[in-house]
Amino acid sequence: MSNKKERAEQEGRRDFLKGVVLGSAALGSGLVTPGLVIGESGKAMAAQDERVKMAFVQIQPHTVSSAWSVGLEEVLSTQQTIDYQQLDGQNKVEVQVSLMDTLINEGAKVIFLQPIDSVALGPSIKKARRRGIAVITLNIDASEEHAAHVEMNHYYGAMDIAKEMGKRMGGKGKVAILNAPPGIIIRDQRTNGFVDGMKKYYPDIQIAADQVADWSRKKAQDVLSNILTAQPDITGVYGVNDSMALGGVDVCKQKGILDKMVIFGNDGETAALESIERGELTGTQFTDVYQQGRFAAAAASVFVSGGVTAKEFKQQGKLLMPYVIATSETVGSIQPAQRW
């Protein structure tokens, strides 16, 4: 960026620039070069006054993605030079891809992405990386290498869920899984973790059913109803997210078998925590999603201020969130401010 252009751009900045120029002149340098300014300090960074654009492309409006956005904004808003924007993928792959293209064109520095499909967004991520844009995926990893991935610790969390669940079932019985649609890595992680956990800690417990319920409470009700009709001896239900687990609670309540059932969810949204407090849902993996958003934002800040570009990432950074297995005993320890 040339000196001339800067002058033309913004009147109010001129005085500050003058100071910098003077300072630089004192150092024997007649010109303000961008490289010089970046290297010096956070203040000089602001002096350059280049707005940094960051955006979050979500799947569609949902409690989890809203909470992430709150966490992201909390951190990013404290840094005056960052423009943050939340965009809606309308649950359509092609919309997310098109939004990615637009953001790349706009010269966004960081894109937070909750991909609808781990594979389908791959080419867009690759394109972003080519242009030096850092893509940080939230929860749902992508098949293409990217800057960083911040997740709820799906695999190990699911193992712990299996451990807790097996204990409550007395080490035996049958379990049904209400699963997410295939095509996203999170599904594999949360399912595999659970299955591996059961195998490791309670090998006598049998996984009797594994059906797709599309993340949805309504769909889960129908699916579990059918499963229980076919296999009435099932006593454990694992919902790959809380919505589906709560759908399971609905069915068991209606059939009057809630007492005998051990039902676990995953995520830890407020509705699930309240259900645990009422003694309906047995437990869930709680993650502080605000915190997750803040972590992602912190990582992003490092990328833009630390002089690290996405191209320099040979290996993708991976950040696993701390979690709590929330049950009737532990749920009280989760602070109201952490709930989302």
- Interface contacts to another protein, rule CB under 8 A: 85, 87-88, 90-94, 97-99, 101-102, 104-107, 116-123, 143, 181-185, 187-188, 212
Query: At its nearest, how many Å lie between another protein and the CB of residue 92?
Result: 6
CB 224 within 8 A of CB 176: yes
Query: At its nearest, how many Å lie between another protein and the CB of residue 184?
Result: 7
Tell me the angle at which helices 93-106 and 122-130 cross, rounded to the nearest 10 degrees.
Answer: 0
Nearer to another protein, 183 or 317 (CB): 183
Nearer to another protein, 67 or 87 (CB): 87
Query: At its nearest, how many Å lie between another protein and the CB of residue 165?
Result: 22
Query: At its nearest, how many Å lie between another protein and the CB of residue 105?
Result: 5
Nearer to another protein, 182 or 279 (CB): 182
CB 249 within 8 A of CB 282: no
3-state secondary structure string across the chain: CCHHHHHHHCCCCHHHHHHHHHHHHHCCCCCCCHHHHHHHCHHHHHHHCCCEEEEEEECCCCHHHHHHHHHHHHHHCCCCCEEEEEEECCCCHHHHHHHHHHHHHHCCCEEEECCCCCCCCHHHHHHHHHCCCEEEEECCCCCCCCCEEEECCHHHHHHHHHHHHHHHCCCCCEEEEEECCCCCHHHHHHHHHHHHHHHHHCCCCEEEEEEECCCCHHHHHHHHHHHHHHCCCEEEEEECCHHHHHHHHHHHHHHCCHHHCEEECCECCHHHHHHHHCCCCCEEEECCHHHHHHHHHHHHHHHHHCCCCHHHCCCCEEEECCCEEEECCCHHHCCHHHCC
Rg (CA), the chain: 24
Nearer to another protein, 178 or 258 (CB): 178
Query: At its nearest, how many Å lie between another protein and the CB of residue 185?
Result: 6
- Report which DSSP code applies to 311: G
Query: At its nearest, how many Å lie between another protein and the CB of residue 32?
Result: 24
Nearer to another protein, 124 or 287 (CB): 124
Query: At its nearest, how many Å lie between another protein and the CB of residue 300?
Result: 20
Nearer to another protein, 117 or 164 (CB): 117
Nearer to another protein, 118 or 235 (CB): 118
**Residues facing 324 on adjacent strands:** 286
Query: At its nearest, how many Å lie between another protein and the CB of residue 144?
Result: 8
Nearer to another protein, 144 or 288 (CB): 144
CB 285 within 8 A of CB 323: yes
Nearer to another protein, 99 or 296 (CB): 99
Query: At its nearest, how many Å lie between another protein and the CB of residue 119?
Result: 4
